Amino acid sequence: MRLRTVGFRKLSLGLAAALLLSGSAHAAEVKVMISGGLTAAYKALVPEFEKATGNTVVTAYGPSMGTTTNAIPVRLERGEPVDVLILVGYALDDLIKKGKATADSKVELVRSPIGIAVKAGAPKPDISTAEKFKDVMLEAQSYTLYPESASGAFVMKTFEKLGIAEAMKPKLKPQADPAGIVSAVANGEAQYGIFVTHVLSAPGLEPPVAFPAELNSELVFVGAVAAPAPNAAAAQAFVDFLKSPEAVAVFKAKGVTPGA
């Protein structure tokens, strides 16, 4: 704990110096839009950044894609102000093409595979191969996921590739956020929960089983400064902070693999 405290003190000095050099030493309000998949690590890191810089972080959560009112692309289209975007990589690439984010500020933050979780005490499914995954899904009584999320979209496409999309439709118990997935499995509403594995590591559930590697189900979460960003210097400082050794340690502690 002492080493971590010392590390964050060094980080505080570094960030403060960066802001002074940028001419933005006064406190700023950094508006962040972030995918729900990184909530746990993000909530641990924000207070450290605020202590280090004196800035305040205001957060809006939403899926990386989709048409719901809280989806990040929808928020941007209706003109909500934002300084930093944190979401799935290919979704950010689309926003960069549309001029909503700055390409040169893009950084890879973490990688996390999609997986399946069951209620605590229930047997874990054997999904070690694509064929076994297909069999497990066809035999499932029910499953739950977040359809508007990047993982939800991936799973639906995977079902189509495996030729089981129609068979899976009546078994789905959709949720509006990651917390709903965890709750539905923990209370027995759904047999399986499907989402990024670090989020499914929760009380009431068995540790999740990752999809087989042949399905290429690893999601990459990235961050970037928005375009335009009302507080660009503070936004860049926040993105830099998320790549610091101290932030990487927090990501690891929360069960996600730091990006390149």
Residue 16, pLDDT > 60, answer no
For tokens 């290429």, name the residue.
Answer: 216
Q: What is the pTM (predicted TM-score) of this model?
A: 0.81
Confidence of residue 25 (pLDDT cuts 50, 70, 90): low
pLDDT at position 40 over 60: yes
**Residue 115: what pLDDT?**
95
Cβ neighbours of residue 194 under 8 Å, at least 6 residues apart?
Answer: 114, 115, 116, 117, 143, 144, 145, 151, 152, 155, 181
Q: What is the DSSP letter of 109?
A: E
Ordered domains of the chain (ranges, CATH): 2-111+220-258 (3.40.190.10), 112-215 (3.40.190.10)
Q: Measured between alpha carbons, how far is 191 from 186 in angstroms, rounded to an integer?
A: 9
Terminal Cα distance for the chain, rounded: 26
Please state, in angstroms and rounded to a whole number, the distance separating the CA atoms of residues 160 and 167.
Answer: 10
pLDDT band at 46 (very low <50, low <70, confident <90, very high): very high
